Structure 1
């Protein structure tokens, strides 16, 4: 049996034509939706979600294309646009009875959360982003030998065919590589959770690649349109990042400030998977965010 978050109930919630999300829900009180990253599922929030559920309604979906959620085929370049994935989250919250809610995302989930907050500011009360830059800035700062850390971004940006074949051929090694090199504390991802991540990713190669391919195309177009129009994140925003900005030669806080006038930017001393490596820090940051007006 696949692992679950203890104390959470599970359901499938339709959010679009032929797309339903696998969702874990627990708690009561003001709602917060937690969006996972790559190569993970909603299970990455297991520690944080359990704490927040003491006084909030906590909603942890698998993103479309990931985990046990539906994985529609990409036909026109929009199925895995962050705008489409963000619309899923708005529909999910509405289906569960929440017109307004707080939103936190890690990695790929943070990109979805940012897009949701830009496209649906009336719905998002607070925004937390964990260890990612907005898509447009990410591509702008990737250059020279420092860009080698993002080799997967370039691989999965290639036209359909070769990336999927290469990753299928060595799926466990490919996805396991990131679980290994992006964590400072391997014990933070125990064997049964790691196995669940690998199994879910192995079954989702085409949709994962489509998600990343969208970030090299249509997602950039959407971000650039917002930047040109002067659109910003007007709700309270918290950004948590590991100490990689200086190492790669850019000021992450300055890049984020251009998008979020109400920004609080904090560096966390851990690896990329901070909700698993430093859950107490993440919980504190989210609780502090939710206390802001």
Structure 2
């Protein structure tokens, strides 16, 4: 893996200028992969402090961490990237083998980004899609990830196992975007704001937690990234399952302290989320929350407190 020094990409400066930003954070567009992929990252806090990388979920960008990131930046070096394929980060074309958007590839991006910013070891928290990237980073790069937090997701292998029968309807988008290239992209592109906005509405219990300008930024970013978002989800139905299965068979696990925050949707679907998680994370702190899916925006104080507790373990 190539390690690069931080440098701004002048082509993206004007693109980012009018977008909402995390106050007090500086923005970088950094090369992280041999193929020339760049990640957009908001960075704040003391560069010499303990590093914490925060990965966003679907259908969002790094902005979802704006409240948590500002709090943590008081005594940590906080790095909030847009994942490959999302936001203002690079969106390489999907390859036939699915590796371009495999969580293994996206996790390698995150490790390279942290190194480019001067950190060989860092704490890592992810929400939704970002949590899947974080899990893969913890499995593939255990020497780099010191602590790991997952917000409102199950590991890929378990996610597919628990979706069955009529209850699988809640994850219809997983099946739609798993289809071969072409159809899902065309269907979603026909009305992307309706598609992505559906999830912003359905999964939120506190709509006021997502201001109009932030919601508009999310929709705009998704509108411009339909092929790469679909490719990310398609990878989770195929190559990511292969990687998780190999780790399960080999007995690999997350050996660092792990915190999981989830809604209590496990009870509604008839499974024990904590039990599933403990197979992957022996050093686990698992708790349910009462807010909606977008917990870093709906309950930022609770999320920040959980992350600070994790970092003390």
Q: Shorter-chain-normalised TM-score: which range?
A: over 0.9
Verify: 1:257 aligned to 2:274, yes or no. no
Matches within 5 A, 1:34-113: 34-76=54-96, 77-113=98-134
1:124-151 CA-to-partner distances (Å, cap 9, x unmatched) read 0000000000000000000011110000
Q: Which residue of 1 aligns with 2:10?
A: none
Q: CA deviation at 1:220?
A: 0.2
Counterparts of residues 1-293 of structure 1 (less than 5 Å) = 1-16=18-33, 17-28=35-46, 29-76=49-96, 77-292=98-313
The alignment partner of 2:100 has SS state of coil
Aligned residues: 292
Equivalents in 1 of 2:274, 2:204: separation in Å?
Answer: 22
Structure 2 SS opposite 1:34 = strand
Kindly state the Cα deviation for residue 243 of structure 1 after the two structures are TM-superposed. Answer: 1.4
Give the Cα separation in 1 of the matches to 2:62 and 2:255.
Answer: 27
Please give the per-residue CA displacement for 1:189-241, whole angstroms capped at 9, x wherever unaligned. 11000000000000000000000000000000000000000000000000000
Runs (4+) off by over 6 Å:
none
State the secondary structure of the residue aligned to 1:12. Answer: strand
Provide, for residues 58-82 of structure 1, a one-character-per-residue CA deviation record: whole Å limited to 9, x for no partner.
0000000000000000123110000
Distance apart, 1:84 and its partner CA: 0.2
Question: What runs of 5+ residues in structure 2 fail to find an aligned partner?
Answer: 1-17
In structure 2, distance between residues paired with 1:47 and 1:242: 20
Alignment gaps of 5+ in structure 1: none
For residues 218-270 of structure 1, the C-alpha deviation after alignment (integer angstroms, 9 at most, x for no partner) is 00000000000000000000000011110011000000000000000010110
Calculate the aligned-residue CA RMSD, in Å.
Answer: 0.4
